[in-house]
Structure 1
């Protein structure tokens, strides 16, 4: 037991000494943000992409002087906890985070983890009012997180699965050539919600479409998707809908290319983490992705705010493999800082109240935090894969030679679905 506790005790001691040293030297104590994410295992590339985005957002905030509080300006500091993409590991890392009295936790690359963390945060905040935590979610899109399991202590900065699916099905609705659709996804809460949303929305918007297959596969376990692609080919599907992310998406589209599958792919995350390079020319005009932003939204103006934002990211992370930008993560950090400054405190309840109804504007992206369920409302783009050399786009993804062009833009008001959250608010 002592051997297991010793690293945590040493870490806590070193953090305490560092804080005292900073105070003695006149350096403001940092405001810490704990990131619980898979930094090892099959989805490590997704965790690393999150880290890059958050780190750059924090660097920009600190370059402006940090966070203004009544006692002065404080830098932001990111502390990473590797959960190996597991629920039990996430709860253990959350305990380490609260032991260090870190007031903000961020996570997103698993709805199963997010659902467990919401429960853990609720219990922690009820048990220790003096050590409360605010949970900021940048990617976990299970609708339950802002519906039946909504929490005052949780804010989501990504569109939920139904909102994303609504954008994709708006495109499918107008595609007369799509008649047979195959659903494939990861077998956990998010994957099941994607399939459910697809069935319901297609039935409402295109009742003539036939769902010819619906597969759920183990998350992060499949190394060869060729048997699944063979089933899709045999079904006669002309389009595939998938919420797969990380290596599960990359390997899926790679198998589709190798098998010569001539079908459109409607994806949640087909615009990065190796997917464009994996599918190559076969994806041009066929692979679509939905996101709150993409590098080619600037409309051709090289001095546009969007282009300058993207170019600054590439300057900070020049390696092609690091090119996966998430606007929502930068929005999240900016809105957190504004809320802390408005609350004049890092107290979780005060910051949560300041976030409710807050808005974000940077000249090319507008968003607002709905108070009723703590769901961020922002525009969505459905974009289609193009070849850089064809001149239709200015930027490719990850040096692949392929990028994405806007096919459908949904303003923020068009993305908002009705709220259905019975939120329990703290007494004070």
Structure 2
């Protein structure tokens, strides 16, 4: 397995002379979803990290007790597969000697969880599954707020603004989908909805007409796609509309409303409720999106925001620890690095005990999104 890339940009080369010749680069590894259905998340997340690292390196690198150290990013593609994640993890730890690793999917995070707890590393994950972290977990941190933190607020908004109370869940048949279904079912019911059906599908699936025919026959008022990847959510939605479905839709776990619109069409996606990582009217987000667009040639998935912010938090903790090769000390310094202002101006705090039993999570602020005329509009905070 070869790394997809390492961060060694021309801009970094310009400041290399100012970095300590005796200090080795601090390595951050990523086990990302760089291909397949979730690639829009993986590419955005990795580029968010890269931009944050480039900013630090352009300023001279991390300030470690007065000595400057560069930061290097090493990325492997797990293709949304647990086996590939294990191979990538072993390569990062044993060959690349990375002490800090970001993971994206629930399946991949669970596949390496036991190894992580036994190794001298620190993992930051965006995995939704509640199984990733418990009160005994020492080496894994969640890099943003979980559905338990934001879904109730979004469902409450839906109940106040969408007609009807019957919901069908259409989720991926994997660890992410199973765990999300357990939580969202309770959240919908608490807000006065009735779950009248649950349908699971394979992430590689393309033809959803038989599945959606069954769903529509149940006459739901709302269909929630949960943690479905945005391109797939758009495909399912388009096929549902073609079959005559006219009710409400939501995607409470998967960011990417513009990808949904691209796949479904603006008319089909009109009124869809999303969780948003970004307020698209925020000037700081627009600047970050422009940097991504200039490099990649398209708009980013909103996952760029929490990965950009989390990388900044981690690098600040490295500086405060004084020992960026000591994961235990960096882990302890996270609570010193936070609270910190997010890219968009909201506070990022350190917590999680109320929902996951231990303080091992960056508490971030998300937005309630509503697609209007083909564009995501932030209609409130979800926290």
TM range (shorter): 0.7 to 0.9
CA distance in 2, matches of 1:86, 1:290: 25
Q: Any idea what SS the aligned residue of 1:159 has?
A: coil
Structure 1 range deviating more: 252-261 or 376-385: 252-261
Name the CA shift for 1:320/1:273 in 2 (closer, same or farther; >3 Å).
farther
Indicate if the aligned counterparts of 1:118 and 1:151 stay in contact, CA closer than 8 A: no
Q: By how many angstroms is 1:96 displaced?
A: 0.7
**Counterpart residue number, 1:367:** 348
**Counterpart residue number, 1:200:** 186
**Counterpart residue number, 1:407:** 379
Q: Any idea what SS the aligned residue of 1:382 has?
A: strand
Name the CA shift for 1:64/1:257 in 2 (closer, same or farther; >3 Å).
farther
Q: Any idea what SS the aligned residue of 2:117 has?
A: helix
Q: By how many angstroms is 1:369 displaced?
A: 1.3
**Counterpart residue number, 1:293:** 278
Q: 2:320 aligns with which of 322, 342, 363?
A: 342
Q: 1:135 aligns with which of 115, 123, 128?
A: 123
Name the CA shift for 1:287/1:24 in 2 (closer, same or farther; >3 Å).
closer
**Counterpart residue number, 1:34:** 29
CA distance in 2, matches of 1:322, 1:24: 33
CA distance in 1, matches of 2:19, 2:271: 60
Q: By how many angstroms is 1:333 displaced?
A: 0.7
Q: By how many angstroms is 1:316 displaced?
A: 4.1
**Counterpart residue number, 2:221:** 238
Aligned CA-pair RMSD? 2.7
Deviations 1:47-66 (CA, angstroms, capped at 9, x unpaired): 22222221112112222222
Q: Give 1:203-218 correspondences, 5 Å limit.
A: 203-206=189-192, 209-218=193-202
Q: Which runs of 5+ in 1 are unaligned?
A: 12-20, 126-131, 297-305, 388-401, 416-428
Name the CA shift for 1:312/1:210 in 2 (closer, same or farther; >3 Å).
closer
Indicate if the aligned counterparts of 2:129 and 2:179 stay in contact, CA closer than 8 A: yes
Q: 1:106 aligns with which of 102, 106, 110?
A: 102
Q: Any idea what SS the aligned residue of 2:72 has?
A: strand
Name the CA shift for 1:332/1:272 in 2 (closer, same or farther; >3 Å).
same
Name the CA shift for 1:24/1:165 in 2 (closer, same or farther; >3 Å).
closer
Name the CA shift for 1:156/1:368 in 2 (closer, same or farther; >3 Å).
same
Q: By how many angstroms is 1:271 displaced?
A: 2.9
Q: 2:283 aligns with which of 307, 322, 340?
A: 307
CA distance in 1, matches of 2:93, 2:200: 35
Corresponding position: 1:330 with 2:308: yes
Q: By how many angstroms is 1:171 displaced?
A: 1.4
Deviations 1:379-406 (CA, angstroms, capped at 9, x unpaired): 221110012xxxxxxxxxxxxxx22112
CA distance in 2, matches of 1:186, 1:380: 22
Structure 1 range deviating more: 78-87 or 312-321: 312-321
Indicate if the aligned counterparts of 1:36 and 1:82 stay in contact, CA closer than 8 A: yes
Name the CA shift for 1:176/1:45 in 2 (closer, same or farther; >3 Å).
closer
**Counterpart residue number, 2:355:** none
CA distance in 2, matches of 1:23, 1:284: 50
Q: By how many angstroms is 1:283 displaced?
A: 4.3
**Counterpart residue number, 1:258:** 242
Q: Any idea what SS the aligned residue of 2:265 has?
A: helix
**Counterpart residue number, 2:13:** none
Q: By how many angstroms is 1:172 displaced?
A: 2.7
Q: Any idea what SS the aligned residue of 1:146 has?
A: coil
Indicate if the aligned counterparts of 2:141 and 2:360 stay in contact, CA closer than 8 A: yes
Q: By how many angstroms is 1:294 displaced?
A: 2.7
- TM-score, normalising length: structure 2: 0.85
Q: Which runs of 5+ in 2 are unaligned?
A: 7-15, 353-357
CA distance in 1, matches of 2:169, 2:283: 34
In the comparison of the two structures, how many residue pairs are matched?
Answer: 359
Q: Any idea what SS the aligned residue of 1:237 has?
A: coil
> Which has the larger Rg?
1
Indicate if the aligned counterparts of 2:144 and 2:306 stay in contact, CA closer than 8 A: yes
Q: By how many angstroms is 1:164 displaced?
A: 3.5
